[in-house]
Structure 1
Amino acid sequence: MAMKILSGRKRKNEESPEWLLTYSDMVTLLLTFFVLLYSYSKVDLEKFQKIVESFRRALAMTSVEPVTVPQVLDNDKAPPGISDEELYNKLRGLIQKEGLAGKVTVSSERRGIVIRLEEQVFFDLGKSELRPEALPVLQKIGAVLREIPDRELRVEGHTDDLPINTLLYPSNWELSAARAGAVVRYFITDCGLRPWRFEIVGCGEFRPAYPNTNPHWRQLNRRVEIVIKEGGATKDENG
C-alpha cells in the first residue's frame, strides 16, 4: 500500500508542477486582499458614523464635573471690554491720584483717547533719552494699557518749530520719531506690552497743539501723544 501511495503522489506532481500551486495560492491571496480593500472603501463612512454615534452616547451617559482652570494672564493679557468712557475716567483718576497733573494730560477726541506726555518731564531739550523721573509715570500708564489688550496704540512724537541739526537728529522729524520710539520701547521691555499693538509716528513741528509764538506754547508743543484707538487690535499672529 505504501508503494501505491508513493506512486500516486509522484503522478500528481508530474501532472501539477509545484510552481503552479504556488502561483494559484498567490492569486487567491491577491484576490482576497482586493476584496478586503473594496469592502473597506464601501463602508468607511458608515463605520465612521457609527463610531461618532457611540462616542456621543458615551458622553451623554457620563457626568463630568466642570473643572475650573486658573487663568494665566500674559503681561498685557486681560479681559477686554472696557468702554472709552470708563477708560477716560480711569486715566483721569490715575492722574489725580498719582499727582501727575502738569506731567500728563488725557482727552477724549474723535481719533480716540489721547494721553499727552509733556516734554519737560520725559526728555531733556533736544534729546530722546527718557529721564529717570519719567519711568515711574510710564509704569503707571503701562499698567492701564495692559487692561485693554484689544486696543491698538499710536504713539506720536511732536516738537516745536525751532530747528535742530545734529549728527543724531538732522531735523525735528528724527527727534520726534526717536522720542516716540523711546516711549514704545519702554512699554515693551519694561511694561510687557505686545509690540504688534504699537505704531510709531514722528510728526516733527508740523502738528502743533498751540501757535509757536512764545516759549510757553513752544514747550507745550514738545510732547509725545499716546492715541488709544477704537476697536480691536489685530495680530498677524504671529507677530
Structure 2
Amino acid sequence: MKRRRRPASESKGAPRWMVTFSDLITLILVFFILLFSMSQIDIVKFRTIADSFQQRQILEFYPSVIPFDDPSAEPEMESEDSQGKDDQDLNSLLSNIQSYLKENKLSDVIVATRTERGVVLVLQEQALFDSGEATVLEDAYPFLNKVGDLLAGIPNFVKVEGHTDNRPIDTYRFPSNWELSSARASSVIRYLTRTGDLDPTRFIAVGYGDTRPIAPNDTSENLQKNRRVEVIITDPQFVEQ
C-alpha cells in the first residue's frame, strides 16, 4: 500500500525578501529625514547670523575684545604719523643742504628742491666732472661728503640719475651718451658709499643719456644745463610710475 505524501506546509506571513526590502526602505527613509532635519538647522543658523550682521547695533553695543574699538583707526593713525615724520626729515634735510650751498657759494652749480619724489639735488657737470669724463673731481668732495653725512642720519633710498646734452660722444670708454651718463651716476654712488660708509643697497644708478633734457639743446648755456647729475633722496610715500 502506497503512503500518501503530505503537502509541504506553507510558511505563514510575508516572504523573507520583503522583510529585507522593507528594512532597506526604512533605513533610506530615516537617512533622508536626518539630512532634511540637518539642512533645516543650517538654514536657521544662517538666517540668525545674517540678521545679526544687519543689526549693527549689536556689534556696537557689546565691547570688543580688541584693545581699540575701531580696528582701522589705529593703523591709519600710525601711517599718518609715519608720513609726517618722513616729511619732517626731508624738509630738515633740504634746509641743511640749502644752508650749506649758500654758505659755500655753490647755489649757481647745485640746486636743491623738494618735489613729490623727495629732495632733488641737481648738480651741473662742472661741479662734478671734466667734460666727457666720469671721474669725480676733488673739488666736489666736500659737498658729496656733506650729502653723505646727511644721508647717514636717514634710511631713505637714493636714486642717482645721469644726464647729458645731445652732442654725440664716441670714445673707447664711452661709445655713446648712454655709457657716459650711466658711468657718472655710478661714480657718484661709488664715492658716497665708500667715503660715507653707506649701505649700497639704498642706491640705484640710472643713465638717461640725452633723453630727458630740461632745456632745448640750442645754445651753449642750455647744453650746459642738460649736462647734469640728479640725486633724488626719495620720499617713502612716493610711488614711481
Instruction: Tell me which interval the TM-score lies in, with the shorter structure as reference length.
Output: 0.5 to 0.7
Q: Find the structure with the greater CA-based Rg.
A: 2
The match for 1:108 is: 114
Alpha-carbon distance in 2 for matches of 1:155, 1:162: 22
Match of 2:14 in 1: none
- Please report how far the alpha carbon of residue 102 of structure 1 lies from its aligned counterpart in structure 2 after TM superposition: 1.7
1:161 alignment partner, one of 142, 155, 166:
166
- Which sits farther off after the overlay, 189-198 or 89-98? 89-98
1:83 matched to 2:59? The reply is: no
**Does 1:182 find its partner at 2:161?**
no
Q: Which runs of 4+ in 1 moved over 6 A?
A: none
3-state DSSP of counterpart to 1:157: strand
1:141 aligned residue: 147
Determine the structure 2 residue equivalent to 1:40. none
Q: Kindly state the Cα deviation for residue 218 of structure 1 after the two structures are TM-superposed.
A: 0.5
Cα pair 1:80 1:147 within 8 Å, conserved: no
Q: Is the 8 A contact 1:160 1:218 kept in 2?
A: yes
| Aligned residue identity for 1:151 | N
The 1-side partners of 2:222 and 2:168 are apart by 16
2:207 aligned to which of 183, 202, 209: 202
Give 1:225's aligned residue.
230
Task: Encode CA deviations 1:66-116: one digit per residue, 9 max, x unaligned.
Answer: xxxxxxxxxxxxx98843322222221121122222231111112221011
Residue 95 of structure 1 is matched in structure 2 by 101
Contact 2:86 2:235 in 1 (8 A): no
Given that 1:128 and 1:179 are in contact with CA atoms closer than 8 Å, whether structure 2 keeps it comes out as: yes
CA RMSD, 1 decimal:
1.8
Q: Deviations over 1:124-167 (max 9, x none)?
A: 1111011111111211121111121x200000000000001111
Q: What is the aligned length?
A: 153
TM-score, normalised with respect to structure 1: 0.61
Counterpart-to-counterpart distance in 2, 1:124 and 1:203: 19
- Residues 170-224 of structure 1 show CA distances to partners (whole Å, capped at 9, x for unaligned) of 1100000000000000001111111010000000000011111100111011011
TM-score (structure 2 length as normaliser): 0.60
Structure 1 unmatched runs, 5+: 1-78, 233-239
Is the Cα contact below 8 Å between 1:106 and 1:114 reproduced in 2?
Answer: yes
Task: Tell me the secondary structure at the aligned position of residue 135 of structure 1.
Answer: helix
Residue correspondence of structure 1 range 110-129 to structure 2 within 5 A: 110-129=116-135
Q: Which runs of 5+ in 2 are unaligned?
A: 1-84
Tell me what 1:212 maps to. Answer: 217
SS in 1 for 2:138: coil
How many Å separate the matches in 2 of 1:208 and 1:141? 25
Equivalent residue, structure 2, for 1:170: 175
